């Protein structure tokens, strides 16, 4: 059984480094143009080159999204951008528009083309069509069952990639018009307002201004909000289906999210491929991914249409058990102090947990905090404030501190 690639989101350069350090085999990112995540930090052309250098030094591949549905005006600017991306040494581009696919194949025939999930590949005939056009990998639509994926695998030779974790769209693999209708922001040009996450209520035609809750909740209902996808329990079945790449959604999520989810899937995949089903116990990894901010989890369409079980219907949409409070930037060996960049308020006496790239989480009671001048302080209240705290062992850079939410 071939080991799949673990593909992680990189919303900006810091998230790319976190994804690489916590175990990704590959990362995907967007430039400042032609991608579908305008709200993410995204990468300048110089940052793409820097990100590629950093990843390649660690043996990690980099794919760049160019997956808008292009308008005529986009086509004039694309060749120059593709030249820059190719020159940076990226390992592939993620496309959805057939015209852009043809353009890349013409201008940069050696650059691997990955077909975006936005292209809605849901059957083997469509997969064969794209294979004939020179696409090297197809990112399948999220609306496929495991049996459908396996049948596509049997009929095509291209690599297949699926989403295994992250946000789901209320519409068919992102083909939603709500954002454009309500706000004028075009989701298929990278500017989705996430209207599906808004709170809704019913208004009866003859009773304007009288809002009727859809459930017994005075705050309204999130009838359009999908639950988050989580397939970590089903790595054995997915690997057996012949999938080449397991993709994590989340370019707009925090570095804590990227670290926790990537690490959990890395350990789960390594454990399974090292020992097979005999040592398979996903509870420990489910516990870890339960510590990042998420909506209730679902297996999506993997075992059939999820129906009502795939949606949220009340105001308790997010699950947040921990607050990400600090990122370790370095370690003062002589003093035994970790150099921490504050991300949320913490204080002396707080009981916290340490997430590290290798090994399980550990507990720590913050016994002291020192500012950059060495003065003792009781609390770190300022965003990105640099402080030092005593720790029981040396912590490598990009370790993270998180505090349980009471």
Instruction: Report DSSP letters for 347-373, one per residue.
Output: ETT-EEEEE-SSS--EEEE---EE-TT
Task: Provide mean pLDDT across the span 119-135.
Answer: 96
Q: What is the pLDDT of residues 234-251, one digit of tens each?
A: 999 999 999 999 999 988
Instruction: State whether 376 and 312 are in the same domain.
Output: no
| pLDDT tops 80 at residue 191 | no
| Residue 356, in any domain of the structure | yes
In terms of pLDDT, which residue wins out, 50 or 311? 50
Instruction: State whether 364 and 239 are in the same domain.
Output: no
pTM for the model stands at 0.86
What are the phi and psi torsion angles at 379 (to 5°)?
A: -145, 150
Burial of 365 (0-12, 13-18, 19+ CB in 10 A): exposed
Number of domain units in the chain: 2
281: left (phi over 0), alpha (psi -120 to 50) or beta: beta
Query: What pLDDT is attached to residue 218?
Result: 46
Task: Provide mean pLDDT across the span 214-218.
Answer: 49
Query: What pLDDT is attached to residue 319?
Result: 75
| Residue 210, in any domain of the structure | no
* CATH number of the domain bearing residue 338: 2.40.30.10
| pLDDT tops 70 at residue 99 | yes
pLDDT band at 159 (very low <50, low <70, confident <90, very high): very high
Instruction: State whether 14 and 151 are in the same domain.
Output: yes
Instruction: State whether 22 and 60 are in the same domain.
Output: yes
- Provide the residue range defining the domain that includes 357: 322-404
Longest Cα–Cα distance of the chain, Å, equals 74
Instruction: State whether 160 and 270 are in the same domain.
Output: yes
| pLDDT tops 60 at residue 40 | no
Structure tokens at 240: 């057996």
Name the domain boundary from 292, 316, 340. 316
Task: Provide mean pLDDT across the span 112-131.
Answer: 96
Does residue 82 contact residue 104 with C-beta atoms inside 8 Å? Answer: yes
CA–CA dist 401, 64 (Å, integer): 30
Mean pLDDT, the chain, rounded, equals 87
Structure tokens at 314: 């009340």
Does residue 265 contact residue 233 with C-beta atoms inside 8 Å? Answer: no
| pLDDT tops 70 at residue 172 | no
Interacting residues of 395 by C-beta distance below 8 A, sequence separation 6+: 328, 331, 338, 354, 356
Instruction: State whether 267 and 362 are in the same domain.
Output: no
CA–CA dist 76, 97 (Å, integer): 15
Name the domain boundary from 316, 335, 360. 316
At residue 9's C-alpha, the angle toward residues 4 and 13, to 5°, is 130
Interacting residues of 240 by C-beta distance below 8 A, sequence separation 6+: 1
Query: What pLDDT is attached to residue 222?
Result: 57
- Report the sign of the C-alpha dihedral through residues 34, 35, 36, 42, in that order: negative
* DSSP-assigned states of every residue in 52-63: HHHHHHTT-EEE
Instruction: State whether 307 and 335 are in the same domain.
Output: no
E strand or H helix that includes residue 80:
helix 72-87
| Residue 396, in any domain of the structure | yes
Report which of 71, 29, 35, 298 is spatially closest to residue 192, judged by C-alpha positions.
35
Query: What pLDDT is attached to residue 283?
Result: 87
Instruction: State whether 294 and 344 are in the same domain.
Output: no
| pLDDT tops 70 at residue 22 | yes
């Amino acid at each position: 059984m071939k080991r799949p690639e673990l593909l992680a989101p990189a919303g900006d350069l810091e998230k790319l480094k976190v994804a690489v350090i916590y175990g990704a085999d590959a990362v995907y990112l967007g430039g400042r143009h032609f991608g579908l995540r305008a709200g993410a930090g995204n990468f300048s052309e110089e940052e793409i080159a820097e990100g590629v250098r950093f990843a390649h030094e660690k043996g990690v591949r980099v794919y760049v999204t160019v997956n808008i549905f292009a308008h005529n005006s986009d086509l004039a600017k694309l060749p120059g951008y593709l030249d820059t991306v190719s020159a940076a040494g990226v390992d592939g581009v993620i496309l959805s528009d057939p015209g852009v696919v043809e353009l890349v194949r013409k201008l940069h025939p050696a650059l691997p083309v990955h077909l975006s999930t936005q292209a809605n590949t849901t059957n083997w005939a469509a997969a064969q069509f794209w294979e004939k056009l020179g696409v090297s990998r197809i990112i399948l639509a999220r609306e496929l069952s495991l049996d459908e994926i396996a049948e596509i695998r049997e009929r095509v030779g291209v690599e297949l990639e699926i989403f295994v974790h992250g946000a789901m769209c209320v519409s068919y693999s992102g083909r939603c018009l709500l954002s454009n209708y309500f706000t004028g922001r075009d989701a298929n040009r990278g500017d989705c307002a996430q209207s599906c996450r808004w709170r809704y209520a019913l208004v009866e035609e003859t009773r304007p201004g009288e809002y009727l809750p859809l459930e017994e909740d005075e705050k309204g209902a999130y009838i359009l909000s999908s639950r988050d996808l989580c397939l970590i329990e089903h790595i054995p079945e997915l690997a057996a289906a012949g999938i080449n790449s397991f993709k994590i959604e989340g370019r707009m999520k925090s570095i804590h999210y990227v670290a926790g989810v990537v690490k959990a899937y890395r350990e789960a995949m390594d454990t399974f491929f090292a020992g097979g089903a005999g040592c398979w116990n996903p509870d420990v990894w489910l516990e870890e991914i339960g510590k990042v901010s998420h909506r209730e989890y679902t297996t999506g369409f993997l075992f059939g249409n999820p129906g009502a079980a795939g949606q949220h219907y009340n105001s308790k949409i997010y699950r947040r058990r921990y607050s990400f409070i600090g990122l370790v930037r370095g370690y003062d060996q002589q003093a035994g102090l970790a150099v921490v960049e504050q991300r949320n308020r913490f204080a002396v006496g707080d009981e916290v947990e340490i997430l590290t790239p290798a090994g399980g989480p550990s507990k720590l009671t913050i016994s002291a905090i020192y500012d950059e001048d060495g003065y003792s302080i009781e609390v770190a209240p300022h965003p990105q404030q640099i402080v030092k705290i005593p720790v029981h062992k040396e912590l490598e850079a990009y370790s993270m501190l998180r505090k349980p939410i009471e």
